Amino acid sequence: MNMTQVCDDRCVLAHLLNNKINIILGTCDLLSAYTTDPEIVVRVLAIRAAARAMTDEINKPLGQSKGA
């Protein structure tokens, strides 16, 4: 497998992950907007923050992630 194929595979995976994470982000936005329970809001915002952090990590250029 050449480097171009690896980059292409990673880009496809990143795109698919970003799509799924954006569903989570949107759902969190809706839940936090429509609930009045402060405990639920805190939990939903924590989930949203984790999802957003993962999106930021996925979108970093190769070699700049925390694990690299």
The span from the CA of 41 to the CA of 59, in Å, is 27
Contact 18, 10 (CB under 8 A): no
43 burial via Cβ count (<10 Å: 0-12, 13-18, 19+): middle
Contact 47, 28 (CB under 8 A): yes
Checking if the pLDDT of 1 tops 60, the result is no
pLDDT digits (tens, 9 = 90+) for 14-49: 889 999 999 999 999 999 999 999 999 999 999 999
pLDDT digits (tens, 9 = 90+) for 52-64: 999 999 888 766 6
Contact 62, 10 (CB under 8 A): yes
- Global pTM reads 0.74
